[in-house]
């Protein structure tokens, strides 16, 4: 249960039309520039007409998968590896490395995995192998032993539909039932005689092309504030901390994603301190995790909230009145030195873009939660919760379940169900950032590379 629940409960409102987050603040800044010019040289109406033009076009429906991944085989030792992928159609993969931990990432565009075959067992330079579908690709991640040198390379395998991904200097002999790996750079033959195979295609380190997306995960309540309690004595603060930890761990394993917990122990944090932690981390998204409670113990299901317009208006007034907030909005928006009317206009445009992005992200998370279990409200709700009031960090509050419902209380205590909820929220977050990658991030670089194929 959130700490500042209004009485009566928030009025159910249809979500506002939200601008796409991809370039949301860049779009807002363009509008802000137009507003400044309007204040200086044009009638006031010109600025409002300019502000109505920002936004993003809806994403076109994705094309069906063009290739199927039917198997994977791995050969690895301490110096390198070869991963052979069985595909029904040739694809142009995106292959790159990430640090912290060291990972090799392979994105197979327009590809889906078929069958129940197991991933190769780890060994040598490879600590683990896993895969997961993405909105526009299938992603394979190999966690590597520290210090493995070299850049990843790929080349066609067999009849051209298969694919080999190579890393390091190891040479592998043919083994029964496994493909023979080609050297990353074939040895040259005698003068005038071409090499037996062309060199594999070099791959850039995409990690150098963009920063991580930062997601701040907030476990509600804590310390002397237990939050809501279930009929069996389960405290909200404990189960939401477990869910928040699981969500942060999942996000951390995603290439190009960094998770920050507002609390990782049973301690109390003021509401505005939670907001400040998100702004200090320059978060791209803030998610506050809670478990609801009502007198009717039969009510069940999840809900997702974003900031209401009423809450936004009151926060804007507070923000403008606090001189310490000058020149701190993301996107380079400076309020110090400008007149009061222009300050209000600049903040209004930035906050509108932020609220739109919040609804977009919350809608993706709500859809994902709907696939896990019951959803109490199938529309994103809006309320004036304090933790949602950051003017420049898209924010949502997720009521994962009703802890007052005996059946849901039992599920919330289950680590397996906590992982299911964390996985559902993670899936919504990933879907959102794949559609709306913030400028300058690895996600934006990958989307640009994908569009260029």
pLDDT in tens, 191-223: 333 333 334 444 444 444 578 999 999 999 999
Of the listed ranges 99-103, 267-271, 332-336, the least confidently predicted one is: 332-336
Please report which confidence band the pLDDT of residue 94 belongs to, taking 50, 70 and 90 as the band edges.
confident
Mean pLDDT, the chain, integer: 73
Nearest to 168 by CA among 182, 179, 184, 155: 184
The 3-state DSSP class for residue 43 equals coil
HSE, side-chain direction, 13 A CA sphere, residue 236: 29
Q: What is the pLDDT of residue 125?
A: 82
Of 62-71, 345-354, 387-396, highest mean pLDDT: 387-396
pLDDT 10s digits, 370-413: 988 778 888 998 888 888 888 889 999 999 999 999 999 999 99
Nearest to 376 by CA among 307, 291, 306: 291
- Do 227 and 254 meet the contact criterion of CB atoms below 8 Å apart? no
Find residue 114's DSSP bridge partners.
Answer: none
Enter the tokens of residue 71. Answer: 């198997």
Question: Residue 349: pLDDT band by 50, 70, 90 thresholds?
Answer: low
Task: Quote the pLDDT of residue 16.
Answer: 42
Strand order in the sheet with 67-76: 111-113, 67-76, 80-87, 162-168, 153-157, 201-202
pLDDT at 325 over 80: no
pLDDT at 242: 97
pLDDT at 241: 97
| Residue 434: partners with Cβ closer than 8 Å, 6 or more residues away | 134, 135, 136, 443, 447
Average pLDDT over residues 429-453: 82
pLDDT for the residue numbered 343:
52
Q: Is the pLDDT of residue 137 over 90?
A: no
Token pair of 140 as six digits: 């394979």
| Domain spanning 24-39+209-452: CATH 3.30.1490.100 | no
Query: Tell me, what DSSP letter sits at residue 375?
Result: B
Check residue 387 and report its DSSP letter: G
On the question of pLDDT at 324 being above 70, the answer is: no
Binned at pLDDT 50, 70 and 90, residue 186 comes out as: very low
What does the pLDDT average to over 325-348? 50
33 vs 446 pLDDT, higher one: 446
Residue spans of the domains in the chain: they are 24-39+209-452, 68-183+196-208
Q: pLDDT tens-digit profile of 242-264?
A: 999 999 999 998 888 999 999 99
Count CB-CB contacts under 10 A for residue 280. 10
Q: Are 241 and 266 in contact (CB under 8 A)?
A: yes
Model confidence at 272, in pLDDT bands (50, 70, 90)? confident
Lowest mean pLDDT among 116-130, 175-189, 221-235: 175-189
Q: How much is the pLDDT for 5?
A: 46
Architecture (CATH level 2) of domain 68-183+196-208: Sandwich (2.60)
Q: State percent of the chain over pLDDT 70.
A: 64
Q: What is the pLDDT of residue 200?
A: 40
Record the pTM.
0.56
pLDDT for the residue numbered 314: 53
For residue 219, what pLDDT is reported? 97
**Residues 82, 88, 93, 95: what is their CA dihedral angle, to the nearest 10 degrees?**
-30
Q: Measured between alpha carbons, how far is 453 from 94 in angstroms, rounded to an integer?
A: 10
Does residue 333 surpass a pLDDT of 80? no
Scanning the structure block, which residue is given the tokens 């197979």?
108
Lowest mean pLDDT among 90-99, 226-235, 277-286, 357-366: 90-99
Q: How large a percentage of the chain has pLDDT more than 90? A: 32
pLDDT at 42 over 90: no
Closest residue by Cα to residue 228 from 237, 241, 217: 237
- Contact yes or no for 104/142 (Cβ under 8 A): yes
DSSP three-state, residue 431: helix
Nearest to residue 132, comparing CAs of 423, 443, 342? 423
Omega before residue 101 within 30° of 0, cis: yes
Residue 440 to residue 95: CA distance in whole angstroms: 19
pLDDT-derived band at 190 (thresholds 50, 70, 90) equals very low
**pLDDT at residue 82 greater than cutoff 70:** yes
Other C-beta atoms closer than 10 Å to the C-beta of 362 total 29
Per-residue pLDDT, 160: 64
**Contact between residue 217 and residue 422 where contact means Cβ atoms under 8 Å apart:** no
Model pLDDT, residue 353: 74
Question: CA-to-CA distance for 361 and 409, rounded, in angstroms?
Answer: 27
């Amino acid at each position: 249960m959130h700490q500042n629940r209004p009485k009566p409960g928030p009025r159910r409102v249809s979500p506002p039309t939200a601008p796409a987050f991809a370039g949301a603040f860049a779009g807002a800044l363009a509008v802000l520039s137009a507003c400044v010019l309007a204040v200086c040289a044009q009638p006031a109406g010109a600025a409002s007409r300019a502000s109505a033009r920002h936004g993003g076009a809806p994403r076109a429906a994705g094309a069906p998968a063009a290739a199927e991944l039917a198997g994977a085989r791995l050969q690895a030792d301490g110096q390198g590896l070869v991963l052979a992928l069985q595909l029904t159609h040739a694809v142009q993969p995106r292959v790159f490395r990430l640090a912290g931990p060291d990972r090799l990432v392979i994105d197979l565009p327009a590809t889906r995995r078929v069958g129940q075959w197991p991933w190769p067992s780890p060994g040598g330079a490879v600590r683990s192998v896993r895969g997961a579908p993405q909105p526009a690709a299938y992603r394979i991640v190999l966690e590597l032993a520290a210090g493995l040198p070299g850049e990843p390379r790929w080349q066609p395998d067999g009849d051209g539909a298969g694919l080999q991904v190579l890393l390091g200097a190891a040479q592998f002999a043919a083994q029964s039932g496994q493909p023979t790996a080609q050297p990353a750079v074939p040895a040259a033959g005698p003068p005038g005689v071409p090499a037996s195979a062309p060199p594999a295609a070099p791959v850039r380190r995409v990690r150098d092309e963009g920063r991580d997306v930062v997601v701040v995960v907030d476990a509600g309540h804590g310390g002397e504030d237990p939050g809501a309690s279930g009929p069996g004595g389960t405290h909200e603060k404990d189960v939401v901390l477990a869910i928040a930890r699981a969500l942060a761990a999942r996000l951390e394993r995603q290439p190009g994603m960094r998770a920050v917990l507002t609390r990782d122990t049973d301690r109390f944090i003021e509401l505005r301190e939670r907001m400040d932690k998100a702004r200090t981390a320059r978060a791209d998204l803030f998610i506050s995790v809670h478990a609801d409670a009502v007198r009717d113990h039969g009510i069940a299901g999840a809900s997702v909230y974003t900031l209401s317009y009423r809450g936004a208006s009151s926060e804007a007034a507070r923000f403008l009145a606090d001189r310490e907030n000058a020149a701190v909005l993301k996107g380079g928006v400076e309020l110090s030195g400008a007149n009061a009317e222009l300050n209000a206009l600049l903040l209004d445009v930035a906050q509108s873009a932020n609220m739109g992005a919040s609804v977009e992200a919350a809608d993706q998370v709500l859809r994902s939660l709907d696939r896990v279990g019951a959803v109490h409200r199938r529309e994103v709700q809006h309320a004036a919760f304090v933790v949602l009031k950051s003017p420049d960090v898209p924010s949502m509050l997720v009521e994962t379940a009703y802890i007052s419902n005996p059946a849901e209380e039992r599920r919330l205590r289950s680590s397996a169900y906590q992982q299911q909820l964390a996985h559902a929220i993670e899936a919504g977050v990933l879907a959102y950032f794949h559609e709306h990658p913030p400028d300058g991030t690895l996600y934006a670089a990958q989307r640009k590379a994908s569009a260029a194929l």
